[in-house]
Amino acid sequence: MYSYFAEFIGALFFMYIILATGNPLAIGGALALAILIASPISGGHINPAVSIAMTSAGKLPMNDLLPYCVSQILGALVALEIFKRQQGQGNKADSSQ
């Protein structure tokens, strides 16, 4: 269960940095940090494509593949929602002045 949560948080953090900055250095740093923190807990896949590759290589059990991918996708969707809400609040503040 902790591994799925680690993948969720890692994907959320990584996707939010992508959306919020668009800066390649920040994105690379965020990916490195997410992998560094999540590696001891879950393997630090952060991306469904990596999880699929690890399953193909025999390093991730097949019964963990779906929960890993779902938690990564949900993490990215939550990051998108947080980003959209943050952007929406900024637009409301600007229009009220």
pLDDT tens profile 43-71: 999 999 999 999 999 999 999 999 999 99
**What's the pLDDT tens digit per position in 6-54?**
999 999 999 999 999 999 999 999 999 999 999 999 999 999 999 999 9
Confidence of residue 91 (pLDDT cuts 50, 70, 90): low
Mean pLDDT for the chain?
A: 93
pLDDT at 42 (0 to 100): 95
In this prediction the pTM is 0.88
Torsion 56-43-71-21 (CA) sign = negative
Q: Which CATH superfamily is domain 2-95 in?
A: Glycerol uptake facilitator protein. (1.20.1080.10)
Nearest of 43, 47, 38 to residue 69 by alpha carbon = 47
**Euclidean distance between CA atoms 44 and 33, whole angstroms:** 10
Q: DSSP class of residue 56?
A: H
Report which secondary-structure segment, H or E, holds 97. none
DSSP code at position 35: H
